[in-house]
A and B are shown apart, each in its own frame.
Chain A
């Protein structure tokens, strides 16, 4: 059974940093593209970033480019999202998810990031 467990969310001041983690199990992590999707409170879904299976390529939504960095540790079946220069509009539940071909299939339960002073 695919399991994705996010952690690292919390309250941070504007301009601050946070590192999200996602522990994966139940599938061959090193073979899958992985992605982060976020959902602001009461709002829709927004794709944030994804990373190739070997970590050699990363892609980001324009609004986080230069501030967020996605990475992975295939030896530890873990996905990360380093978030710097956080803004109020980054407040959201952040979901870790697997990506197969051109679909985002399995999702974690999410971790809430709140950016507020």
Chain B
């Protein structure tokens, strides 16, 4: 049971937009603007895509955006491309003794 709740899968067609939700609590997502999103292709290391809710690291496409409302954060990918097909994980800093919590991951399928 992951600390943050994500849908197991989402799908979309090339060119469309999709949104992945990440629901936590008032001790993590709701308490801090320290939500990050990671992309992980099979057999590869995770790659940071969004940090501090809505900031993109250098080199990450502006098709990726993040937001937060209350205890739920969201990752939106616009203009879907085949290479976006991957697993996506959210993460948040938390006030609990476990300093970071992750979501269970969402498999994005580009149809």
Chain A residues engaging chain B, CB cutoff 8 angstroms:
35, 37, 44-47, 50, 59, 61-62, 95, 101-110
Minimum distance in angstroms from A117 CB to a CB of chain B: 26
Which of A102, A106, A107 counts the most B-chain CB atoms under 10 A from its CB? A102
The tally of CB-CB contacts under 8 A between chains A and B is 55
Instruction: List B contacts of A107 (CB < 8 A).
Output: 45-47
> Taking A105-B48, A110-B45 as contacts, is the C-beta distance between A47 and B99 under 8 angstroms?
yes
Main secondary structure of the interface of A (DSSP, over half): strand
> Taking A44-B2, A45-B46 as contacts, is the C-beta distance between A104 and B57 under 8 angstroms?
no
Is the CB–CB distance between A44 and B104 below 8 Å?
A: yes
What is the size category of the interface that chain B forms with chain A?
A: 20 to 34
Which residues of B72-108 are within 8 A (CB) of A? 89, 91, 93, 97-105
Instruction: List B contacts of A103 (CB < 8 A).
Output: 34, 36, 48, 51-52
Instruction: List A contacts of B64 (CB < 8 A).
Output: none
